[in-house]
Structure 1
Amino acid sequence: MLIVIGGLPATGKTTLARLLAARTRGVHLRVDTIEQAIVRSGLARHPVGPVGYVVGYALAEEQLRQGHTVIAESVNPLAVTRDAWRDAAVRAGVPVLEVEVVCSDPDEHRSRASSRSVDIPDLPLPDWEQILGRDYEPWHRDRLVVDTAGQQPEDSLGPLVEAVLRADRG
């Protein structure tokens, strides 16, 4: 199955995706990693535009066709990006679970944004003002919303694992 995890920066997407990948033995595709590899190649500079997502869709579909569970993690800010992930799952003939990770406490979200560290060399992290000013379209279809405010990552993971098990059963 394809599990698409989106949400604004500093909400906990990467942490949850890594925990879920370890729990499910799924393939974790992180668009930040793809985009930074493209920048390191010298072919582009930040922001790279849609290329990181397009590469991600192709990698996800290939891994899905090989029978792997894929956890695709990115901001996923636009309906067109959300549709493209879903289309990759449809083409591969697998179910898709869409997840939006939020941090409903603005003070906690801001604190996370200012205190997190870079785990991908030379990846520029957005500051709080850039996070607030980012284009992020509202979701207009069903998805699992995971609110990480005031929780440890393992606590936020519980509802996500339950939803994956339900979706996998069909």
Structure 2
Amino acid sequence: MLIILSGLPGTGKSTLARELARRLGGVYLRVDTVEAALLNAGHTSMTVEGYATAYAIAADNLSLGLSVVADCVNPVSETREAWAEVARQSYAALVNVEVICSDGIEPRRRVEARYADPATRAGKWSPPNWEDVEKWAYQPWQTSVLLVDTAHETGAELANTILDFVRN
């Protein structure tokens, strides 16, 4: 099974993805981590290469029979279709989850705290600042997606919702 958690920075994707991977005994695949490694290794571009690397890592793990939980912004139809192709080629079920946080303050607080933390700014990669997030071009979904909101439920509660959805 390939579970893709998509959404803007600060929505709570990473917390939820780690919880799902832990419960499934699966692979946690964070595109930010891949992109940071590429930049820190000297690559000057990261988005296309980062996603391409993540697709390959996901396919390798799906071929081993492992569930993969991918944590990424996944803002455009091209990346969404590429993840769907990984699932098709791996004969894996695909679950698209869009993560939002309807609390008007919390996503900004999360983004600003992460951006200000020196530990997240090691090397050449750094998380986006709030102004970058506000300008992000995030396309509406054109395919079926499970929408979850981190504003009123914990990661554990939302993990239950997603796993119940997968089982039904």
One fold, TM greater than 0.5? yes
2:33 matched residue in structure 1: 33
Counterpart mapping for 1:1-170 below 5 A: 1-44=1-44, 48-116=46-114, 117=117, 119=120, 121-122=122-123, 123-166=125-168
Whole-angstrom CA distance in 2 between matches of 1:105 and 1:165: 29
Whole-angstrom CA distance in 2 between matches of 1:163 and 1:32: 26
Which residue identity lines up with residue 10 of structure 1 in the other structure? G
SS in 2 for 1:106: coil
Moved more, 104-113 or 139-148: 104-113
SS in 2 for 1:157: helix
Whole-angstrom CA distance in 2 between matches of 1:109 and 1:100: 15
Change (3 A) 1:57 1:24: same
Moved more, 26-35 or 118-127: 118-127
Which residue identity lines up with residue 82 of structure 1 in the other structure? R
The structural deviation recorded for 1:73 is 1.1
SS in 2 for 1:126: coil
* Cα deviations by residue, 1:36-91 (Å, 9 ceiling, x for unpaired): 1111111225xx23110011111111111111101111100000000000100000
Whole-angstrom CA distance in 1 between matches of 2:162 and 2:92: 18
The structural deviation recorded for 1:106 is 1.6
CA RMSD of aligned residues (A): 1.6
Whole-angstrom CA distance in 2 between matches of 1:68 and 1:76: 21
Whole-angstrom CA distance in 2 between matches of 1:120 and 1:99: 28
Query: Normalising by the residue count of structure 1, what TM-score does the alignment of the two structures yield?
Result: 0.90
The structural deviation recorded for 1:156 is 2.4
SS in 2 for 1:138: coil
Q: Is the contact made by 1:33 and 1:120 (CA closer than 8 Å) also made in structure 2?
A: no
User: How many residue pairs get matched?
Assistant: 164
Whole-angstrom CA distance in 1 between matches of 2:22 and 2:13: 14
Query: Normalising by the residue count of structure 2, what TM-score does the alignment of the two structures yield?
Result: 0.91
Which consecutive unaligned segments of at least 5 residues does structure 1 have? none
